[in-house]
Amino acid sequence: MMRAKTGQVAPVLLLTAGLVSVASLWSQAEPALAKTLTMKAAAEQAIAVSPDLRGSEAQQVLKEGSWVLGFRAFLPKLNLSASENDRLSTIGADSFTKTYTIGLQQMLWDGGRLQASRNLEKAELTISRMDLRRKAAEIGESAINLYRTIIYKEALLEIKNANLTALELQIAILEEEVRRGLALQTDLDEAALSLEDARLSEQSLRLELELARLNLALLLGLQSLPALTERIDTNRATVIPRTSDTSLETQLCQLVAAVHPDLVRARSEIQKLQVQLQHAERDWWPTLKLSGDFSLSGDRYPLSRYSYSLGLSLEFAGPLLSGSVGGKTGWEGTTDRTALVQSSAEPVPDPGSALTKASLQAMLMMEQERYALLLKQTEQQVTRLLKACGMAEDRRLLTQKQSELFWKKLALTEVKHSLGQATTLEVMKARIDYSSQEIAVVEAAVSLLQAERELEKFLDLAPGELGPYIKQLQGSHS
């Protein structure tokens, strides 16, 4: 008895826990303002404060709780009824019959259709949960992209500010040279145009940076954005080892096959179709039910007549024939015994349902083929992303070398200027070229971060977790 009570209480506790989790989600509507913000924390904050996501999560929890309580379908069904039948007769005595009945019905066997139906609902809930998780990942990725955009523009602004300061110093020197007749007025005019262009570019970048910060603050539900802790490191090398060994690629492909959202969802769709096919195969199997009832009746209280019965019924439904057959027996009072046998049939109720199994088999085959193709494409994508990380690293190293060359060119131009072999305008142009190359170095570093983040998304990892995970794989392999 204690085991039965526990089984009935457990679903209620699960639903209560689900509702509490929903309440905790809604309580996060007013996030606390942190002093600093990492990229991972920004993604988590965006997910936590999203009203659409909280609403979808609440609906998902309620659906899962409803599924848990659906276990009630396996338990006996209790029916209570009461009636009063009054008859006034012009010939004979009047009658005032009161009847109270309690009935109980229990399904004994249905060929597993009820369990298959619950498995189908569970598969649909699993797919719905995956869709919700994907939606949360997209929201978090939006915050990551905005975060990366901000630190990228901050790095560009730092370069442009340094370049603008140097240009202002150079144009002051050039103005003095023009005043002394050592430089042409046209050189000064051209330098002024370059300086003005640099100022406009810097102001435009500031506006873009401010807009990106406002967008991220809005996404995180904050009045103002705290200081971002991460920066663009142009000297940071890729976390992907440069080796000809394919063991790492094989391990990553195996992991992607297990955790990639598209593949996980495709497997769930296959499982759902398999459950539907199993349900269709058992659809014509009969259902066996046991029923019993007890009645009290009489003209006045206390009721003096009683009856009870016990019955067994067999119901079946197929595309060509459906019906039922059953019987019951019982007693009315202490003297009368009753028995009833009844049957019914309906020929060709739904001939179209005979094609359901073939249709599901075709859909299952198509879904399995689609999964095989998706798995192959995903493995190819892992190979492409690994190569993309390597190419992004090569580009970063190349732009750094080019930046060193432009720095040497600037230094040489300054030396030539000190010897009277180059003009101040040429020094300014060399500095602008060097600043542009510094920006190219930052862009290459950002491209490397983006390539590694794409691989992290494929592996279902949080920002910054790719490096430790690669080291863990290498450690286990060695």
Digit-coded pLDDT (tens) for 156-195: 999 999 999 999 998 998 888 888 888 888 888 998 999 9
Is 53 among the domain residues? Answer: yes
Token reading at 303: 């009721």
* CATH number of the domain encompassing residue 450: 1.20.1600.10
pLDDT of residue 388: 93
Q: What are phi and psi of 462, to 5 degrees?
A: -80, 165
CA distances from 449 to 69, 204, 436, 443 (A): 47, 24, 20, 10
Using pLDDT thresholds of 50, 70 and 90, give the confidence band for residue 439. Answer: very high
Task: Give ∠ CA 211-217-220 in degrees, rounded to 5.
Answer: 145
Q: Which whole number is the average pLDDT over 68-84?
A: 89
pLDDT of residue 25: 42
DSSP 73: G
Is 421's pLDDT higher than 70?
A: yes
CA-to-CA distance for 423 and 441, rounded, in angstroms?
A: 27
pLDDT of residue 30: 42
Predicted TM-score of the model (pTM): 0.77
Look at the block and give the residue holding tokens 């009636």: 83
Is 370 among the domain residues? Answer: yes
pLDDT of residue 391: 94
Using pLDDT thresholds of 50, 70 and 90, give the confidence band for residue 242. Answer: confident
pLDDT of residue 237: 92
Is 88's pLDDT higher than 80?
A: no
pLDDT of residue 34: 61
CA-to-CA distance for 357 and 365, rounded, in angstroms?
A: 12
Return the percentage of the chain with pLDDT > 90, whole number. 44
In sequence order, which residues have a C-beta less than 8 Å from that of residue 110 and are 6 or more positions away? 285, 287, 288
Is 248 among the domain residues? Answer: yes
CB 372 within 8 A of CB 344: no
Q: Which of 5-14, 144-153, 325-334, 396-405 has the lowest mean pLDDT?
A: 5-14
Average pLDDT, the chain: 85
Long-range contacts of 371-380 (CB under 8 A, 24+ apart): 371/263, 371/266, 371/267, 371/270, 374/262, 374/263, 374/266, 375/257, 375/263, 378/253, 378/256, 378/257, 378/260, 378/262, 378/263, 378/458, 379/253, 379/256, 379/257
Total domains in the fold of the chain: 1
CB 64 within 8 A of CB 125: yes
Q: Which whole number is the average pLDDT over 224-248?
A: 87
Is 10 among the domain residues? Answer: no
Please tell me which residue, 11 or 464, carries the higher pLDDT value: 464
CA-to-CA distance for 293 and 54, rounded, in angstroms?
A: 47
Return the percentage of the chain with pLDDT > 70, whole number. 91
Token reading at 405: 């060359």
Q: Which whole number is the average pLDDT over 43-71?
A: 91
Is 73's pLDDT higher than 50?
A: yes
Q: Which whole number is the average pLDDT over 10-26?
A: 44
Is 18 among the domain residues? Answer: no
Using pLDDT thresholds of 50, 70 and 90, give the confidence band for residue 5. Answer: very low
261 C-beta neighbours (distance < 10 Å), count? 15
Q: Which of 137-146, 360-369, 394-403, 463-472 has the lowest mean pLDDT?
A: 463-472
Using pLDDT thresholds of 50, 70 and 90, give the confidence band for residue 229. Answer: very high
In sequence order, which residues have a C-beta less than 8 Å from that of residue 348 and are 6 or more positions away? 319, 320, 321
Is 185 among the domain residues? Answer: yes
User: pLDDT tens across 109-127, in order?
Assistant: 887 778 888 888 888 898 8
Q: Which whole number is the average pLDDT over 270-294?
A: 85
CA-to-CA distance for 293 and 100, rounded, in angstroms?
A: 10
Provide the domain limits for residue 197.
37-85+96-477
pLDDT of residue 292: 92
CA 313 to chain centre: 46
Is 2's pLDDT higher than 60?
A: no
**Cα Rg, the chain, nearest whole Å:** 38
Is 13's pLDDT higher than 60?
A: no
pLDDT of residue 10: 44
In sequence order, which residues have a C-beta less than 8 Å from that of residue 60 and are 6 or more positions away? 125, 128, 129, 132
pLDDT of residue 6: 40
Q: Which whole number is the average pLDDT over 32-36?
A: 66
DSSP 80: E
Using pLDDT thresholds of 50, 70 and 90, give the confidence band for residue 445. Answer: very high
Greatest mean pLDDT among 8-12, 240-244, 285-289, 391-395: 391-395
Find out whether the peptide bond into 302 is cis, omega within 30 degrees of 0: yes
pLDDT of residue 322: 84
CA-to-CA distance for 101 and 80, rounded, in angstroms?
A: 6
CA distances from 360 to 29, 110, 275, 380, 418 (A): 44, 21, 10, 30, 84
Is 343's pLDDT higher than 50?
A: yes
In sequence order, which residues have a C-beta less than 8 Å from that of residue 299 and are 6 or more positions away? 95, 96, 97, 98
Using pLDDT thresholds of 50, 70 and 90, give the confidence band for residue 401. Answer: very high
* Burial annotation 16-28 (CB, 10 A radius, 16+ → b, else e): eebeeebeebeee
The conformational region for residue 18 under phi > 0 = left, psi -120 to 50 = alpha, else beta, is: alpha
Is 65 among the domain residues? Answer: yes
Using pLDDT thresholds of 50, 70 and 90, give the confidence band for residue 245. Answer: low
Using pLDDT thresholds of 50, 70 and 90, give the confidence band for residue 478. Answer: low
Longest dimension (CA), the chain: 139
pLDDT of residue 477: 58
Is 14 among the domain residues? Answer: no
139 C-beta neighbours (distance < 10 Å), count? 18
pLDDT of residue 126: 87
